Amino acid sequence: MTVVEFRRELHRHPELSFEEHRTQQFIIDVLAAEGIECRAIAGTGVIAKIEGRRGNLQRAVVLRADIDALPIVEKNDVEYRSEREGVMHACGHDMHAAVLFGVLQAMHAERNFEGTLFGLFQPGEELNPGGASLVLGEKPFEGYNVAAVIGEHVDARLEVGEVGICPGRFMAANDELRFYVSGRGGHAARRNEIDDSVTAMCDMVVRTTALNTPESVVSIGKVVADGATNVIPDRVSAEGTMRTFDQEERQRIHGLLRSNAESVEQKYGVRVEVDINHGYPCVVNDITLAYEAMIVAVDEGLVVRELEPMTTAEDFGYYTELYPSLFYRLGVGKHAGGSHTATFLPDEGALEIGVRMMQRMALHVLNK
């Protein structure tokens, strides 16, 4: 099977996060046909293992692709468009899985490397708690010395033939914020008989957005105070998001949100609850791997774009917390359009480049 055929098969049959049953079976069948050892992992994922012909087999490289799709009705008019109405590979995870398949296929044919290569087809990237956390919960790399975890994401800001690399902090940790202010509501004209939950929440929101810095983002996008011109409600809620690039900064802001809540409680005589739904950790690229990848890319005739950190999140962050890791962006052309839209259509010319880049990087680390 070719990489393009593999990609189109997944594209036709997209599945939502943690529901990748058909995808999983397809990957297992295709790998088995290639003679590549593999098994299920994290419910609907697949992990493949290829041992090199020489070297210490405990030393390993993990190549990771995500495999889930999104709840979007595809509007592309292509022969391989989604056959599952309302579900679409609109983030390019079909491309990631196909690239990984191509790399495994090529490396299994030769096995001309030292150590062990893992190929991880990870489910559920798009949905908290993220498939990466489930994969790692099964400790699949216990007993191995993992020299690198390598992953990629397609990127329509880059042309085909370009790769984007960012040494160090790359993608943000995202946490969902929910605030609830409760107090004694009542007649808005009798202020001595009520607790002003609305003003208390406004104060809380202003204190929250004051925590923004050039390195971190805190935004409140929803405030609900369902009173009336003359009614102060008993309860006001707010929702928002925060994005940080550093675990310490993340903890610091969490602490400040809680201390601000206490100050608001004292000032207004209300109760303020702060609910933080922890999202994915930051993606921090290993500096050495990132610069080595730049050299490998240039050597492959690709154009390297050094990227600025991105405020979007990726569950790849879980791997970067544990192992030296590299997450880079693969150009799929500006005409691909926006990801997470009904018309996202990456250029398949990027597949062959993606395979070359990932294979060369894996060989580089394994044979080091």
Least distance to Zn ion from the beta carbon of 244, Å?
19
Comparing CB distances to Zn ion, the nearer of 201 and 358 is: 358
Of the two residues 6 and 113, which places its CB atom closer to Zn ion in the complex?
6
Using the minimum distance from each CB to Zn ion, give the nearer residue, 91 or 350: 91
Minimum distance from residue 153 beta carbon to Zn ion (Å): 6
Q: Does 310 sit near Zn ion (CB under 5 A)?
A: no
Q: Which is nearer to Zn ion, 68 or 292 (CB)?
A: 68
State in angstroms the smallest separation of the CB of 126 from Zn ion. Answer: 5
How far is it, in rounded angstroms, from Cα 240 to Cα 126? Answer: 18
Which range, of 3-11, 85-93, 198-206, 319-327, touches Zn ion by CB under 5 A?
85-93
Q: List Cβ<8 Å contacts ≥24 apart for 138-143.
A: 138/41, 138/42, 140/41, 140/47, 141/60, 141/62, 141/323, 143/58
Would you say 90 or 253 has its CB closer to Zn ion?
90
Q: Which burial class, exposed, middle or buried, applies to 262 when counting CB atoms under 10 A from its CB (0-12, 13-18, 19+)?
A: exposed
Strand order in the sheet with 217-224: 217-224, 235-244, 173-182, 271-278
**Which of 91, 357 has the CB closer to Zn ion?**
91
- CB nearer to Zn ion: pick between 91 and 326: 91
Residue nearest to Zn ion (CB): 91
- CA angle, 194 then 195 then 196, to 5°: 110
Q: Which of 91-99, 133-141, 158-166, 199-207 is the region at the interface with Zn ion (rule: CB under 5 A)?
A: 91-99
- Closest contact distance (angstroms) between CB of 179 and Zn ion is 27
Spatial CA neighbour of 58 closest among 103, 139, 118, 107: 118
- CB–CB of 227/198 below 8 Å? yes
236 phi/psi in degrees, rounded to 5: -130, 140
CB closer to Zn ion out of 176 and 249: 176
Q: How many binding residues for Zn ion (CB under 5 A)?
A: 1
- Which of 8, 128, 124, 141 minimizes the C-alpha distance to 63? 141
- Of 32-40, 89-97, 103-111, 140-148, the segment contacting Zn ion by CB under 5 A is 89-97
End-to-end CA distance of the chain: 31
Neighbours of 368 (CB within 10 A): 12
| C-beta of residue 270 within 8 angstroms of C-beta of residue 131 | no
In this chain, which stretch among 76-84, 87-95, 98-106, 130-138 interacts with Zn ion, using CB under 5 A? 87-95
Q: Which stretch binds Zn ion (CB under 5 A): 88-96, 132-140, 288-296, 342-350?
A: 88-96
Q: Could you give the 3-state DSSP secondary structure of residue 92?
A: coil
**Min dist. Cβ of residue 16 to Zn ion (A):** 12
Contact call for residue 10 and Zn ion (CB under 5 A): no
The footprint of Zn ion on residues 329-348 (CB under 5 A) is: none
- Minimum distance of Zn ion from residue 39's CB (angstroms): 24
Torsion-angle region of residue 86: left (phi > 0), alpha (psi -120 to 50) or beta? left
Stretch that binds Zn ion, among 36-44, 84-92, 174-182, 317-325 (CB under 5 A): 84-92
CB of 313 to Zn ion, least distance (A): 10
Per rule CB under 5 A, is residue 91 in the interface with Zn ion?
A: yes
Q: Parallel, antiparallel, or unpaired for β 173-182 and 235-244?
A: antiparallel
Give the shortest CB-82-to-Zn ion separation in angstroms.
15
Residue 91 vs 163, nearer CB to Zn ion: 91
Based on CB atoms, which residue is closest to Zn ion, 93 or 364? 93
Q: Count of residues for the chain?
A: 368
Chain mean position to CA 98: 18
Q: 10 Å Cβ neighbour count for 242?
A: 24
Residue 199 CB, shortest distance to Zn ion, in Å, is 38
Shortest Å distance, C-beta 312 to Zn ion: 8
CA nearest 65: which of 86, 81, 83, 41?
Answer: 41
Q: Which residues bind Zn ion (CB under 5 A)?
A: 91
